[in-house]
Amino acid sequence: MSIIVFGSINIDLVVTAPRLPLAGETLTGENFFKIPGGKGANQAVALSRLGIPTHMLGRVGANNFGTELVKSLQDAGVQTSKIFLDENANSGVAIITVSHSGENHIVVISGANGQVNQEDVERLTQLLPTAKALLLQLEIPISAVVAAAKVAHDANITVILDPAPAPSHLPAELYPLVDIITPNEVEAGQLVGFPVNNEDTAAKAAGVLLQRGVKSAIVKLGAAGAICATPEETFLVPAFTVDAVDTVAAGDAFNAGLAAALDHGLSLHQAVVWGTAAGALAATKLGAQTSLPDRFTFDAFLKDRGVKF
């Protein structure tokens, strides 16, 4: 059995400079990095690092960075046979400028990610008989997200939706297809229409999401941990205390830890603990895919923190 991630695959082109350039200004920077990214690919790599057989589905451009992106997923142990090399689109690209003080400018071109469609959903359907869960995010067209959730739901596969980047609205038909929705505070606030910035408002937001039809709602609260609500109960799982240096991809690691635990047959409560552990570990390292913990580190962390499952 495997876990499937259906989502975005990007290349991040990152430059560093003393400060961000003003409009029309040319600056001399210092470093250039080419880093694989995209929320979908990040979650797939995170799962694979945790030792879970993982399939990535999505699209890359046949002519720019595509084979390189597929290879980097393969190197991380992710199965890529259903990724479509699109002759008519460029791979998704994020152009990122980072200043010494840590500020950034980011422009994203969704490219091939924006072309994901029903054909990809059909490729997904072929994998469902051997799948345990489907992880979705919002960096591909929403019509494809809804169609993917529907085929997985109909096949009794657990659907986990990370509603990121923050949407102003999700189609009403999507909620009942989702087993677990996992917004952070900003995303939860966008979805429910009131600010979400503490335990109380997160619990209230989770309640609204349950009413819209999801089976469980988990609101990720950064260093405050995560609130989880089901029709039966609402509980807080506190964050693990770590020396956080960069929380990029903490949310992606959280979702991978959550899904990995469910794959191991653990309870939802235990799965949220695994999610917070993976998120905390990702926060201790710089970068996105570079910060995702491997299984050895993850198990050692759980043991060290007295987690017995």
Binding-site ranges for ligand ADP (CB under 6 A): 164, 184, 220-223, 225-226, 239-240, 242, 244, 247, 250-251, 254, 276, 279-280, 283
Question: Is 252 an annotated catalytic residue?
Answer: yes
The nearest distance, CB 239 to ligand ADP, in angstroms, is: 4
As given in the structure block, the two tokens for residue 80 are 């890529």
End-to-end CA distance of the chain: 21
The nearest distance, CB 118 to ligand ADP, in angstroms, is: 28
Answer whether 58's CB lies under 8 Å from 7's CB.
Answer: yes
* Cα angle value 95/99/103 (rounded, 5°): 80
Sign of dihedral through CA atoms 241, 245, 251, 256? negative
Query: From the candidates 120, 162, 179, 252, which is the catalytic residue?
Result: 252
Amino acid present at 215: K
If the CB atoms of residues 79 and 276 are measured against ligand ADP, the closer one turns out to be 276
Amino acid present at 252: D
CA distance 117 to 108: 20
Amino acid present at 114: G
The nearest distance, CB 103 to ligand ADP, in angstroms, is: 17
The dihedral region occupied by 193, where left means phi > 0, alpha psi between -120 and 50, and beta the remainder, is: left
C-alpha 285: how far from chain center: 17
Using the 8-state DSSP alphabet, how is residue 20 labeled?
P
CA distance 253 to 256: 5
If the CB atoms of residues 40 and 61 are measured against ligand ADP, the closer one turns out to be 40
If the CB atoms of residues 75 and 103 are measured against ligand ADP, the closer one turns out to be 103
The nearest distance, CB 115 to ligand ADP, in angstroms, is: 25
If the CB atoms of residues 131 and 161 are measured against ligand ADP, the closer one turns out to be 161
If the CB atoms of residues 10 and 276 are measured against ligand ADP, the closer one turns out to be 276
Structural Rg of the chain based on CA atoms: 19
Residue with tokens 């939706």, as numbered in its chain: 161
The nearest distance, CB 155 to ligand ADP, in angstroms, is: 27
Residues labelled catalytic: 252
